[in-house]
């Protein structure tokens, strides 16, 4: 490792020595486990000959010339810290009040954790959520309009601006592939080829909940919790050691990198709700501009009467002069923390849902035109900065089958397309609300409204051309709602979606399974057709039961929040 700091080399060797001594105890593949490995015989830190000479030179006595050079301080410190860590590990192992697992207990811990990881790998593989599974990450992937050329070429030679206006007629829209699909009695779609042979598969609900029970048993096991806690403490201590030894040197190296700092490295804004993509000042300016330039435009229907923008504000006893940041009251203060109800109210300008419908909805009287205009202004700022990307979240509710087409038409018709922006679909867990409002009869209808349009456009993209173009820019799905709501298990065995017709909302794990299962078959079909796949990134661990985190561990590529992981 030419040019690698000696302190980094020593940190690596310390970690390798620890791994060589402890990891064999956790391996379930050991042929014999007749005796425990003694930590006292942990292999010493082996240095190269030149490093050994440096360490000898750095520990000379005062009579021999003290330190040969102050540059050897790191080696002295790291050597002493290594000895202290060894002593700490030996004391921890020999502590009578602490964990004193023998080799069989360590083997059991290792086997349990290995099985958990194997379960997650199984679900990631069958759902095709790995990066290598997505055709979009392959070299032959093409999308219209093409992304801009690499920015580094601008430093060598001038490059023409790749500003290409979007034209739907220029998009390549494939046709029908002859396959067929149908939802089974289990609430999961299956796809068959032209000969009637089913080529998709998904884990059964019984298999998922059995694996979930194993995860819950594992995380509640006392010895495993103790071992995991101490392992985390060790890793944290090792990281702090690395920071102490290398912080100054890494800071100096980062300063030597030309043309790179916080403002010109590429950043991706994740977990950004589209309705909150703009700041309050931007939204305030936009509302005032529309109120000044388009006051007589019809914008909403209330009680059978069409109201103009001026009439809406007159009904609120407000003028453009009265509007301010404080009047909007859309800042999420500390009072909204762990208060999902207050958090949602912050999306209403001036606390009025009608203003949210006018300015921050895609499906309204004006077809989301105001929302599209302010969104394009935000995206324009991203493109001008060149180094900022965003993954905006927008909702599909599952109340009706035409939601996907309406959202895709909003994006494509208003040309809200940019190489700096990708989309993540939020699915609120609100079956009980739809059931109470008479919008759905059972949970199977929610699943059909969510997934049937996606299977239709995968079968024949020409049947939903705008949806096909939009899905090329969709990353995956999110599951959102207030996690702190209590989930009382009403059934010993969960009923199938077509039988779930009660007003009670299904639990988090029920939503998670049917999202995962239908995404498995959908992704398998899309890979077969060469289309991009989707991932599952739910809100998990913000509040509520740790069962949410366990279900997300199996089904999700990644999660949002995860605050409860500290527990």
Q: Pairing relation of β-strands 189-192 and 180-183?
A: antiparallel
Question: Which one-letter DSSP state was computed for residue 294?
Answer: -
Sheet holding 474-480, edge to edge: 267-273, 388-395, 421-428, 474-480, 535-536
Helix (H, G, I), strand (E, B) or coil at 535: strand
User: In 10 A of CB 407, how many CB atoms?
Assistant: 22
Contacts of residue 138, Cβ cutoff 8 Å, sequence gap at least 6: none
Helix (H, G, I), strand (E, B) or coil at 67: coil
Angle at 62 (CA atoms; ends 58, 67), nearest 5 degrees: 25
Angle at 436 (CA atoms; ends 434, 440), nearest 5 degrees: 45
- Whether 101 and 95 have beta carbons less than 8 Å apart is answered as no
Rounded to whole angstroms, how far apart are CA atoms 224 and 221? Answer: 5
Q: Where are the beta strands (DSSP E) in 254-410?
A: 267-273, 298-302, 305-308, 388-395
Tokens standing for residue 279: 């700041």
Residue tagged active-site, from 93, 273, 338, 561: 561
| C-alpha pair distances (Å), 449 with each of 319, 400, 402, 442, 443 | 41, 6, 8, 12, 10
SS (H, E, C) 135-149: HHHCCCCCCCCCCCC
Helix (H, G, I), strand (E, B) or coil at 6: helix
Rounded to whole angstroms, how far apart are CA atoms 379 and 298? Answer: 27
- Whether 535 and 475 have beta carbons less than 8 Å apart is answered as yes
Alpha helix segments (H runs only) across 414-546: 431-436, 443-459, 465-471, 508-529
491 is catalytic: no
Tokens standing for residue 209: 């909940």
Listing DSSP states for 84-149 in one string gives: HHHHHHHHHHH-TTS----HHHHHHHHHHHHHHHHHHHHHHHHTT-SGGG-GGGSTT---SSPPPP
Q: Pairing relation of β-strands 388-395 and 267-273?
A: parallel
SS (H, E, C) 308-343: EHHHHHHHCCCCHHHCCHHHHCCCCCHHHCCCHHHH
Consecutive H or E run containing 237: helix 222-255
Tokens standing for residue 365: 């009287």
- Whether 134 and 533 have beta carbons less than 8 Å apart is answered as yes
Active site residues: 561
């Amino acid at each position: 490792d030419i040019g690698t700091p000696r302190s980094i080399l020593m940190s690596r060797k310390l970690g390798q020595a620890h791994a060589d001594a402890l990891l064999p105890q956790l391996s379930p593949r050991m042929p014999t486990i007749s005796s425990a490995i003694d930590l006292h015989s942990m292999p010493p830190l082996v240095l190269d000959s030149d490093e050994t000479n440096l360490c000898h030179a750095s520990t000379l006595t005062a009579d021999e010339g003290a330190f040969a050079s102050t540059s050897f301080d790191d080696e002295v410190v790291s050597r002493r810290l290594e000895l202290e860590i060894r002593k700490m590990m030996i004391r921890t192992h020999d502590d009578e009040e602490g964990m004193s697992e023998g080799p069989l207990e360590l083997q059991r811990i290792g086997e349990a954790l290995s099985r958990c990881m194997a379960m997650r790998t199984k679900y990631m593989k069958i759902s095709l959520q790995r990066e290598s599974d997505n055709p979009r990450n392959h070299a032959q992937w093409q999308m219209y309009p093409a992304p801009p050329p690499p920015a580094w070429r601008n430093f060598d030679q001038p490059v023409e601006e790749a500003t290409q206006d979007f034209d739907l007629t220029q998009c390549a829209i494939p046709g029908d592939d002859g396959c067929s699909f149908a939802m089974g009695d289990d609430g999961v779609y299956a796809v068959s080829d032209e000969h009637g042979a089913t080529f998709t598969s998904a884990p059964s609900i019984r298999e998922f909940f059995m694996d979930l029970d194993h995860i819950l048993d594992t995380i509640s096991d006392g010895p495993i919790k103790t071992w995991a806690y101490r392992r985390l403490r060790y890793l944290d201590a090792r990281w702090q050691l690395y920071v102490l030894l290398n912080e100054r040197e890494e800071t100096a190296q980062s300063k030597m990198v030309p043309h790179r700092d916080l403002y010109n490295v590429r950043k991706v804004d994740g977990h950004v709700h589209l309705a909150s993509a703009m700041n309050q000042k931007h939204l305030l300016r936009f509302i005032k501009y529309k109120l000044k330039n388009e006051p007589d435009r019809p914008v909403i229907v209330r009680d059978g009467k069409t109201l103009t923008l001026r009439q809406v504000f007159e009904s609120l006893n407000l003028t453009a002069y009265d509007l301010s940041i404080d009047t909007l009251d859309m800042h999420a203060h500390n009072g909204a923390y762990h208060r999902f109800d207050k958090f949602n109210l912050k999306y209403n300008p001036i606390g009025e849902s009608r203003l949210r419908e006018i300015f921050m909805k895609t499906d309204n009287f004006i077809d989301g035109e105001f929302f599209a205009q302010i969104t394009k202004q935000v995206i324009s700022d991203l493109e001008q900065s060149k180094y900022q990307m965003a993954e905006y979240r927008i909702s599909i509710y599952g109340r009706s089958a035409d939601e996907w087409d309406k959202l895709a038409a909003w994006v494509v018709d208003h040309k809200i397309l940019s190489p700096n922006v990708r989309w993540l679909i939020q699915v609120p867990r609100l079956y009980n609300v739809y059931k109470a409002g008479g919008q759905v009869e059972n949970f199977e209808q929610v699943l059909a409204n969510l997934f049937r349009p996606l299977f239709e456009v995968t079968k024949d993209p020409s049947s939903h051309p705008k949806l096909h173009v939009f899905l090329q820019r969709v990353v995956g799905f999110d599951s959102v709602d207030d996690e702190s709501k209590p989930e009382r298990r009403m059934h010993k065995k969960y009923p199938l979606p077509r039988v779930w017709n009660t007003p009670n909302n299904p639990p988090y794990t029920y939503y998670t399974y049917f999202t995962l299962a239908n995404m498995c078959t959908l992704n398998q079909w899309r890979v077969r057709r060469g289309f991009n796949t989707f991932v599952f990134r739910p809100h998990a661990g913000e509040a509520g039961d740790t069962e949410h985190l366990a279900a997300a561990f199996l089904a999700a590529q990644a999660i949002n929040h995860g605050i409860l992981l500290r527990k």
